[in-house]
Amino acid sequence: MAQRSEPAADGQNRTAGSGDRRGADVLGREGTGPLAGVVIADFSRVLAGPYATMLLADMGATVIKVEGPDGDDTRTYMPPVRDGEATFFLAVNRNKHSIALDLKDPQDLDVAHSLIRSADVLIENFKPGSMARLGLDYASVAELNPDIIYASITGFGTGGGAHIPGYDLLVQAASGMMSLTGDQDTQPYRAGIALFDVITGLHAAIGVLGALHHKNQTGEGQLVELNLLTSALSGMVNQSAAYVTGGVVPTRMGNEHPSMYPYAPMQTGDGMLIVATGNDAQFVRLCAALGIPGIALDPKFAKTRQRNANRDELREILHTRLATQSAAQWFSELTAAGLPCAPIQDVRGGVDFAEQLGLQPVVLAGSGTRKIPTVRHPVEYSRTPVDYSLAPPELNESSELVRRWLSHQKALTHA
């Protein structure tokens, strides 16, 4: 089991509603993250939006998660569970404050309006038109808060695709990604994660950061729009470029790479080992480490294009040599020789491997009796470190705190 890092000291002694937005969560969580003092009204749910807002919350932003009376859908995505809570929800909602609002109720909608007036950023991923029917579209929100950054995430845009539900699996299919996943003689496969929800969440976080930089320079807010399909085509990089730039429609190649070889799982004496050869010099070193240096001099294999053209013959040569030792032995020897390779592991193995490398992949989010093991934020800052002082919130647990802060903000406005 991987070790759990304790959260950084959070010193939660700042008075909520103090109005001091320098270097702290405005609701009392102190921190030194680069976004400390930024307030985000989080109207998103499920994955793309919540992943983006969690990353921003890790960086110190005050994220107030607005949930419906029944909570974010992912609270019910079970199994797996931890102490009766869905691990799906726990994965993307740490460092947030939860308030439950029925946006069709006038009083709750008024609370939402108060939150919007005090926020720097609003993030939502409702189906196109839903926020407009509630009077919470960008045009309406900008009347309440002209300087707000409004990030809107949809599945297929707000034009011709507005009517298509924004589910990651639909985007994996429609984008062409599934046509690239699997062997040539199998059906298309989806990725093992909601890949484009995650990529869109990353793009959303980047978009918000860009808009915040512009706002810091000019004081202007703006509308930031994203959709899963555009993020998918961007995230498919060389495969989408194969068609857009080269006019080539890529196809499924299983675990092999269309442009490099060997760059795939290779059979060893007791299992598979990923061997990744990115250039001719690496191939020379690989052949030397395998004890077959002459192969690198063969005109059929000396250059990348020739290796790709003759990969079936080369595969047999490499498998024959790799079969003489175990995957673990080859991993040790090839890594020592500076060659890219990796064992194929399950998720437990991946987390444990990161721990062995000293990366501390698991951190405890929260304090006191509620500490939840979560995956570490992917960025480390030397001057403005992230923290994990808040566990993923229980539904509506911050309602009183948020309402008290909003009342204080309203009093300041009318003072």
Report the DSSP beta bridge partners of residue 100.
67
Give the three-class secondary structure for 42: strand
- In degrees, rounded to 5, the angle at the alpha carbon of residue 76 between the alpha carbons of residues 392 and 39 is 35
CA distances from 249 to 179, 185, 233, 259, 306 (A): 10, 17, 13, 14, 21
The reply to whether 197 belongs to the active site is yes
Rounded to 10 degrees, what is the CA torsion of 394, 363, 349, 287? Answer: 140
Q: What's the one-letter identity of residue 375?
A: V
Supply the Cα-derived Rg of the chain in whole angstroms: 25
Question: Strand 85-86 to strand 81-82: parallel, antiparallel, or no bridges (unpaired)?
Answer: antiparallel
For residue 16, give the nearest of 366, 398, 391, 386 by alpha carbon: 398
Structural tokens at position 307: 């290796």
Give the whole-angstrom CA distance, residue 280 versus residue 293.
13
Asked whether 300 and 313 are in contact (CB, 8 A), the reply is yes
Angle at 351 between CA 395 and CA 354, to 5 degrees: 125
Cα–Cα distance measured from residue 209 to residue 121, given in angstroms and rounded to the nearest whole number: 10
Out of 197, 280, 298, 346, pick the active-site residue.
197
Closest CA to 409 of 144, 205, 103: 144
Cβ atoms of 268 and 260 closer than 8 Å: no
> For residue 120, which of 150, 148, 151, 140 has the smallest C-alpha distance?
148
Any idea which residue has 């108060």 for tokens? 114
In single-letter form, the type of residue at position 81 comes to V
Beta-bridge mates of residue 372: 365
> In 296-364, which ranges are continuous DSSP H helix?
304-309, 311-322, 327-336, 347-356
**CB distance 226 to 151 below 8 Å:** yes
- Degrees (nearest 5) of the Cα angle 301, 304, 307? 40
Q: Name residue, tokens 């992230």.
A: 386
- Catalytic residue positions, numbered: 197
